[in-house]
Amino acid sequence: MAKRQTRRSISVKGITYQRLKDYCEDNGLSVSGYLEDIIAEKLDAAGAPVPTVVKREPPPAPSASTNTNTNVGPRESNTNNNKPVEVDEIVSQHFTF
């Protein structure tokens, strides 16, 4: 069983989404599954490597007016521009609409 699933979203024009949704309904496909398949095919054809980890964005630096809580979660780190960005294992990433 997966430890955690991360989801990502993309934005498309309304007309593009409607065409995609109609096509998938007419062909008995899920929108997310169809997109994942065609994106993977394009990336494979382009020779894009498949990553084993995904880079996490560092949290924004606290401003002077922000409470600087030093309690961080087990997979988070304090913001420090000299430290490398942490990575998480890729479990599953899906596009949401």
Over residues 35-70, the pLDDT tens digits come to 999 999 999 999 999 888 877 767 777 776 655 555
CB 83 within 8 A of CB 17: no
Can you read off the two tokens belonging to residue 29? Answer: 């496909």
Residue extents of the structural domains in the chain: 6-59+82-96
Strands of 1-97, DSSP E = 6-9, 53-55, 87-89, 93-96
Element (H, E) at 51: none
The pLDDT, as a whole number, for residue 55 is 74
Q: At residue 10, does pLDDT exceed 80?
A: yes
The pLDDT, as a whole number, for residue 56 is 73
The pLDDT, as a whole number, for residue 88 is 54
The pLDDT, as a whole number, for residue 86 is 54
**At 9, is the pLDDT very low, low, confident or very high (cuts 50, 70, 90)?**
confident
